């Protein structure tokens, strides 16, 4: 059923929907769509009798800083009726928002908030775009490739103030000379 579905419907999809590219990798279909046509494509795939992708299983982001459109937003859809999964991909940059599909798929609200929190991809017309996985005062977006591994701020407990304080991360390290011998070198094996 899956191979038959793919072969029959790829030709029809390209005639009906404004798709930039169709990618097939290991029998998994991905459609690359312009940002302007995203909601139209998602609505069509959800409600058309031949497709019925009624479930949005995930929205994720991919960061490629060297590309013109740095971010790729990936929508993973599931058709329970036909037992098919489909990915819809949209390309965007740091400044251009992607239209929220929260009114089409209810689960999109959480996934879009996660994507915004981790990558900084803004979703316009979202009802409540908040940080979910990081703290309110967190600076930056941790899943971007240019985010430093140590972060910008470290939390530690200050015993004189008797509270947790946030300080800037300082990565300077003094030169260390080790004068002791390794305990493994002193062992004698018979």
**Quick check: helix, strand or coil at residue 100?**
coil
Confidence of residue 183 (pLDDT cuts 50, 70, 90): low
Judged on CB neighbours under 10 Å (0-12, 13-18, 19+), 178 is: exposed
Residues 6+ apart with CB under 8 A from 53: 45, 46, 77, 78, 79, 84, 86
Query: Which of 8-12, 37-41, 161-165 is predicted with the least confidence, judged by mean pLDDT?
Result: 8-12
Beta carbons within 10 angstroms of residue 20's beta carbon = 12
Q: Which range scores top for mean pLDDT: 40-44, 135-139, 153-157, 176-180?
A: 40-44
Give 38 or 23, the one with higher predicted confidence: 38
Structure confidence by residue, pLDDT tens digits, 105-130: 999 999 999 999 999 999 999 998 88
- The chain-wide mean pLDDT, for the chain, equals 85
pLDDT, residue 171, reads: 62
C-alpha 22/C-alpha 28 separation (Å) is: 10
Structure confidence by residue, pLDDT tens digits, 63-111: 999 999 999 999 999 999 988 899 999 999 999 999 999 999 999 999 9
Q: Which range scores top for mean pLDDT: 54-58, 133-137, 176-180?
A: 54-58
C-alpha 114/C-alpha 62 separation (Å) is: 13
CATH architecture assignment, domain 1-134? 2-Layer Sandwich (3.30)
Q: Which range scores top for mean pLDDT: 27-36, 51-60, 159-168?
A: 51-60
pLDDT, residue 77, reads: 95
Integer-rounded Cα radius of gyration of the chain: 24
pLDDT, residue 4, reads: 59
pLDDT, residue 11, reads: 72
pLDDT, residue 1, reads: 47
Q: What are φ and ψ of residue 113, in 5° steps?
A: -65, -40
**Contact in structure between 88 and 45 (CB atoms under 8 Å):** yes
The answer on pLDDT for 182 being more than 80 is no
The model's pTM:
0.78
**Contact in structure between 85 and 31 (CB atoms under 8 Å):** no
Q: What are φ and ψ of residue 179, in 5° steps?
A: -105, -5
**Quick check: helix, strand or coil at residue 149?**
coil
In 3D, which of 22, 27, 87 has the Cα closest to residue 58? 87
**Contact in structure between 100 and 107 (CB atoms under 8 Å):** no
């Amino acid at each position: 059923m899956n191979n038959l579905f793919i072969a029959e419907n790829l030709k029809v999809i390209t005639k009906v929907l404004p798709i930039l590219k169709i990618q097939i990798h290991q029998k998994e279909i991905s459609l690359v769509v312009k940002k302007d046509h995203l909601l139209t494509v998602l609505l069509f795939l959800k409600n058309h009798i031949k497709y019925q992708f009624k479930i949005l299983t995930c929205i994720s982001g991919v960061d490629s800083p060297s590309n013109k459109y740095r971010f790729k937003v990936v929508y993973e859809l599931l058709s329970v009726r036909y037992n098919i999964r489909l990915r819809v991909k949209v390309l965007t940059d740091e400044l251009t928002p992607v239209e929220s599909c929260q009114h089409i798929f209810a689960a999109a609200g959480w996934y879009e908030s996660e994507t915004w929190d981790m990558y900084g991809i803004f979703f316009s017309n979202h009802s409540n775009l908040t940080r979910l996985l990081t703290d309110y005062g967190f600076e930056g977006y941790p899943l971007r490739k240019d985010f430093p591994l140590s972060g910008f701020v470290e939390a530690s407990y200050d015993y004189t103030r008797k509270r947790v304080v946030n300080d800037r991360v300082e990565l300077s390290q003094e030169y260390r000379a080790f004068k002791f011998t390794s305990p493994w070198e002193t062992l004698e094996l018979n």
